[in-house]
Structure 1
Amino acid sequence: MHKVLVPKYSGAHRFACLALYRALLRQCRPSAADTPWPSETRPLIRQNFRKYKKLQSPSQIANALKAGYEALNLLSLSRTNQHDAHRVTTLIAEARSQKDKYAAMQREIRPVAPAAKSLTPKEAKKAQSIRFQEETSRRHPNATSVLNRPRPLGDKKRNVPVLVNARGLPFLRYKKPQPRNVSSVIRTKLSRRWNWIERRDRLKLELLFAKDEEEWDRITETKEPSTWSEHPANAIADVNAKIGRFDMRTKELTDSMWKIVLAEKALAEEEASQKQPKQ
């Protein structure tokens, strides 16, 4: 059974198409000659290559490539031949006219847009969540550190935060939903720590091989300037130090956030007692 060859996965086919594409675009560069069409042909070339890039029929591919090479020849001759330049200008005008006619026809047959349908409560909640995630994708430029709390709120009711454990990382949740930038920071820190752990596991495996090499050197009485296990062991110690510093900073951050929770709670109780009417 013959193997089916998909043209877009063929290196020779892709090379031929890309070479033709680059050659056509090079012909669209501005020149010293008074030819207004180079800037207008470039969008047409890109549009047609996007249109026909998924062709799989051999006959259609052959016709498309033939048309491309004819266009390349015509563009090359049009820089020195006035007749060919006029032909290029005519073809561009015809393409623009056909595009305008097609757009006008589509506007005429386009059905009247139905009135906007009211969203269900579930759809409205989903749309609101998407908007919130887009709005909170980046940290606000005027935002202050979460550790600069508690802050005076005036007449507003104080909202006591909750200390949340996100797979070992602490953060203060004042309200839901969670801002997108907070989620991004948590994922980045957790990914960094996990990469260190995976690196340590790989180094431990290399350390076992290094010890085997040292045993072989001992048997063969081979002298090396340094031991095989020296560099993996140093790398493991370095990774362990990074993980240790990360965990220590996480612990310090947890302690600071817990103190903020206690302070916010005390202030909330104090402010609530002050607002109660005296009997």
Structure 2
Amino acid sequence: MSSFNRRHSMADPSQTANALKAGYEALDLLSSSRTDQHDAHRITTLIVEARSLKDKYAAMQREIRPVAPTAKSPTPKEAKKAQSIRFQEETNQRHPNATSVLNRPRPLGDKKRNVPVLVNARGLPFLRYKKPQPRNVSSVIRTKLSRRWAWIERRDRLKLELLFAKDEEEWDRITETKEPSTWSEHPANAIADVNAKIGRFDMRTKELTDSMWKIVLAEKALAEEEASQKQPKQ
């Protein structure tokens, strides 16, 4: 019954009759093969032929199966993007043998000198010798800018607290209430502390900018001197 369920599309009576006939012949052949060597040999031959046909069909299917496309070469844009990603991964941490950029310029030499560019990153200076920018440099810049911005946000909150504190002091004056310390003392001191931190940060930034600009001028002068030394003498 299960065989007929699997072949439910066989609606032609002649196909059904042929299938039944073939099935009965197979049963008779299996029964007689126990005593008849000729029938046993015939069954073996049919099995071998069936396996051979199955193997041929599988080989034919493999031949007509679509071949997987070979990996295409990346476009110049994709290659450049992949190279940039590798560079960012390689420069995620500062090299242990790297020297400070403030130790520049390097002495005169035979190699071509790269004159850096002084870049302003939202008020924070840094020297760019080449592109792309190393990831660790970007990380340092973001950390410093985030720290300064956090101070500014804290100062804004303290200024709001100072306004409320002055209102409290005005109420104490009206009610003639005396407190051991003024309400505005603590927020005012905190604001002064934050302003001092921002001031020191900005002062160091200005000093760093001046130092880096001197490096740019020195690198440029050395590059011109090296170029003149390489020119053939008249």
Unaligned runs of 5+ in 1: 1-46
The whole-number CA distance in structure 1 between the counterparts of 2:25 and 2:35 is 16
- Farther off after superposition, 82-91 or 182-191: 82-91
Change beyond 3 A, Cα 1:277–1:104 = same
| Residues 126 and 106 (structure 1), Cα distance of their counterparts in 2 relative to 1, 3 Å cut | farther
Partner of 1:272: 227
Does the CA contact (< 8 Å) of 2:109 and 2:226 recur in 1? no
| Secondary structure of residue in 2 paired with 1:147 | helix
C-alpha distance after superposition, 1:62-99 (max 9, x if no partner): 99999999999999999999999999999999999999
Structure 1 range deviating more: 105-114 or 130-139: 105-114
SS at match of 2:103: coil
SS in structure 1 of the partner of residue 126 of structure 2: strand
CA 1:247–1:74 in structure 2 vs 1: closer, same or farther (change >3 Å)?
A: farther
Shift of the alpha carbon at 1:115? 3.0
What is the TM-score when the length of structure 2 is the normalising length?
A: 0.71
- Aligned-residue Cα RMSD (Å) equals 15.0
TM-score, scaled to structure 1: 0.60
Q: Structure 1 residues 87, 155: CA separation in 2 closer, same or farther (over 3 Å shift)?
A: farther
- Looking at CA atoms only, which structure, 1 or 2, has the larger radius of gyration? 2
SS in 1 for 2:101: coil
Q: CA deviation at 1:107?
A: 16
Q: Which segment drifts farther, 48-57 or 197-206?
A: 48-57
Q: Is contact 2:110–2:226 with CA below 8 Å preserved after alignment?
A: no
Between 1:111-120 and 1:123-132, the stretch displaced more is 111-120
Q: Which has the higher contact order (CA 8 A, sep 6+)?
A: 2
Deviations 1:222-260 (A, max 9, x none): 110000000000000000000000000000000100110
Which range moved further: 175-184 or 82-91? 82-91
Q: What is the alpha-carbon distance in structure 1 between the residues aligned to residue 8 and residue 155 of structure 2?
A: 46
Q: 1:105 to 1:159 in 2, by over 3 A?
A: farther
The reply on whether 1:119 has 2:74 as its aligned counterpart is yes
1:235 to 190, 200, 210: 190
Q: CA deviation at 1:270?
A: 0.6
Q: Are 1:82 and 2:37 matched, yes or no?
A: yes
Q: Distance in 2 between matches of 1:114 and 1:151?
A: 52
CA separation of 1:99/1:242 partners in 2, compared to 1, >3 Å: closer, same or farther? farther
Misfit runs of 4+, over 4 Å? 47-114
Moved more, 150-159 or 186-195: 150-159
Judging changes above 3 Å, is the alpha-carbon distance between structure 1 residues 175 and 227 closer, same or farther for their aligned structure 2 residues? same
Distance 2:179 2:20 in 1: 63
Q: Which stretch shifts more, 135-144 or 75-84?
A: 75-84
3-state DSSP of counterpart to 1:158: coil
Kept in 1: contact 2:88–2:135 (CA 8 A): yes
Q: 1:213 to 1:153 in 2, by over 3 A?
A: same
2:51 paired residue number: 96
| Superimposed CA distance per residue, residues 125-174 of structure 1 (whole angstroms, 9 cap, x where no aligned partner) | 11111111111111001000000011136210111101111000000000
Deviation at 1:117, TM superposition (A): 1.9
Q: Say if 2:115 and 2:219, in contact at 8 Å, map to a contact too.
A: yes
